[in-house]
Amino acid sequence: MRVTVIGHSCLRAETRAGTILVDPWLFGSCYWRSWWHFPPSKEPDDEMLAPDWVYLTHHHFDHFHYPSMRRLDRSATVLIPRFGVDVMADEVVSLGFDRPQELRHGRILDLGQGVRVASYQYGFDDTAFVIAEDDHVVIDVNDCKIRGRALDPIVKEFGRPSLACKSHSFAQSYPVLYDSEDESQLRLVTRETYIDDFHDVMARLQPRHAIPFGSMVGFLHPDSAPLNAHLVTPQMVVDGVAERGGIDGTDVVTMAPGDVWDSATGFERSDVDWYADRERHLVVLTAKYQDKLDDRAAEEAGVRVEWRDFEAHLGRFVREVPRVFARRLAPKPFVFHVPSDADTPYWWVSFRSRSIGRSATVPDGASGVTTVPEAVMAEALRDRIVHILHGAMRIHTSLLPGGVQSDLGWWGVVMMWELGYLPLRRSARHPRLWRSMARRWREFVDQAPSVISRNPVDHLAERFGADV
């Protein structure tokens, strides 16, 4: 088996059963010109665009990148996880592929000639992916938050991994793009959170080689650029694991786009250290793509978000989410600041009153005030992907006293609703939800005690890097 890092969260595995392309974001940007490849990846060639198999770990655009999928040969067989709700299959078909093959949690698919793959779900919308050829095993944890007992079936089924690849840095706006007079509200997640998580997952898997992966991005848009200085670099992970005593029998190895691991010959790695002078490289990249950034700015200029769109989407949201559930996770009003509405610029969603509204001042008891470019907000409402805004990094939130848990909880609830898990009266009617949950009992055994005994959002923020 031969595995090439393509960029960010994309791997290409050459096996006896054919080539497997995982999470093909191959060029360009994501999230309203916010995310770009760093270190930069090469322009895909014809061979890259003609895989035999494609696997999509989940539906986020830096993994399921529509422009990249449109360039792939439609003869590829697309594999997707069979989540408790159907969130991806129709999207794949809309791009011109045959209906994708859904992989049930933990069930092995034999690709032939000694090659097997499997998908392991965790949380509401993410998976780890395993590729095995004979005794050579690659686990692409990616930015899936899988941990604890949920990892054990992978090792039991496939044996010790040869290679395990895992994310290691921020994938959401909290806490860097937040401010608060109470600094303690910004400390639920730190760089150490990500290094601890990398170490703990790899210590459980005990691969021969652990790869800091799935976090190879640079933020070139002015809204998100401040995040670059706070990212956790691969070398920080190498050093951090060493400071924690290392992992017996495991080497932590950095890989950049274009680097290769071969089961027969080992590693082929570039000697370029992209992070030694990261600021200069980012300046060069920004200049390279300035025309695209300028074009996006021109498209956004003068665009206003419409109250009727806000009311239609988020009004339905607040009515459909169970009040008891929502009030525990997000008891405080969530507020957007909309500058174009001069008289009532604060648009809010309240689970306590089960209503939305707009006002001249910030409502009493709000969790904070979030600002999003109006053009971006308008597109998110139109496409029903408001939860994506948090990871797009083009927002800013000013937390009010005691607001952090409610703020993060709100983002979690809107994500569950937009994916289709809420309202439960609708999703619970489908057998696929219960079948998915039944196969994932280890995950729920690990999580239940902490969620029951503590504030669940506090727990999620600490354990999952606030990616809710």
In the predicted structure, residue 462 carries a pLDDT above the cut 50: no
Work out the pLDDT band at 287, boundaries 50, 70, 90.
Answer: very high
Q: Average pLDDT, whole number, for the chain? A: 94
Q: Report the pLDDT value the prediction gives residue 456, as an integer from 0 to 100.
A: 53
Mean of the pLDDT values across residues 150-164? 97
Mean of the pLDDT values across residues 375-379? 98
In the predicted structure, residue 5 carries a pLDDT above the cut 90: yes
Q: Report the pLDDT value the prediction gives residue 465, as an integer from 0 to 100.
A: 45
Q: Report the pLDDT value the prediction gives residue 73, as an integer from 0 to 100.
A: 98
Q: Report the pLDDT value the prediction gives residue 327, as an integer from 0 to 100.
A: 87
What is the SS3 string spanning the chain?
Answer: CEEEEEECCEEEEEECCEEEEECCCCCCEECCCCEEECCCCCCCCCCCCCCCEEECCCCCCCCCCHHHHHHCCCCCEEEEECCCCCCCHHHHHHCCCCCCEEECECCCEEEECCEEEEEEEECCCEEEEEEEECCEEEEEEECCCCCHHHHHHHHHHHCCCCEEEECCCCCCCCCCCEECCCHHHHCCCCHHHHHHHHHHHHHHHCCCEEEECCCCEEECCCCCHHHHHHCCCHHHHHHHHHHCCCCCCCEECCCCCCCEEECCCEEECCCCCCCCCHHHHHHHHHHHCHHHHHHHHHHHCCCCCCHHHHHHHHHHHHHHCCHHHHHHHCCCCEEEECCCCCCCCEEEEECCCCEEEEECCCCCCCCEEEECCHHHHHHHHHHCCHHHHHHHCCCEEEECCCCHHHHHHHHHHHHHHHHCCCCHHHHCCCHHHHHHHHCCHHHHHHHHHHHHHCCHHHHHHHHHCCCC
Q: Report the pLDDT value the prediction gives residue 466, as an integer from 0 to 100.
A: 37
Mean of the pLDDT values across residues 400-412? 97
Q: Report the pLDDT value the prediction gives residue 412, as an integer from 0 to 100.
A: 94
Q: Domains of the chain by range and CATH?
A: 2-291 (3.60.15.10), 307-423 (3.30.1050.10)
- Model confidence pLDDT, tens digit, residues 78-101: 999 999 998 899 999 999 999 999
Q: Report the pLDDT value the prediction gives residue 464, as an integer from 0 to 100.
A: 40
Percent of the residues in the chain that have a pLDDT greater than 90, as a whole number: 87
Q: Report the pLDDT value the prediction gives residue 395, as an integer from 0 to 100.
A: 97
In the predicted structure, residue 460 carries a pLDDT above the cut 60: no
- Model confidence pLDDT, tens digit, residues 193-224: 999 999 999 999 999 999 999 999 999 999 99
Work out the pLDDT band at 463, boundaries 50, 70, 90.
Answer: very low
- Model confidence pLDDT, tens digit, residues 342-361: 999 999 999 999 999 999 99
Task: Pick the range with the lowest mean pLDDT from 38-52, 164-178, 419-433, 438-452.
Answer: 438-452
In the predicted structure, residue 27 carries a pLDDT above the cut 90: yes
Mean of the pLDDT values across residues 391-417? 97
- Model confidence pLDDT, tens digit, residues 226-253: 999 999 999 999 999 999 999 999 999 9
- Model confidence pLDDT, tens digit, residues 314-339: 999 999 999 888 889 999 999 999 99
Q: Is the pLDDT higher at 261 or at 468?
A: 261
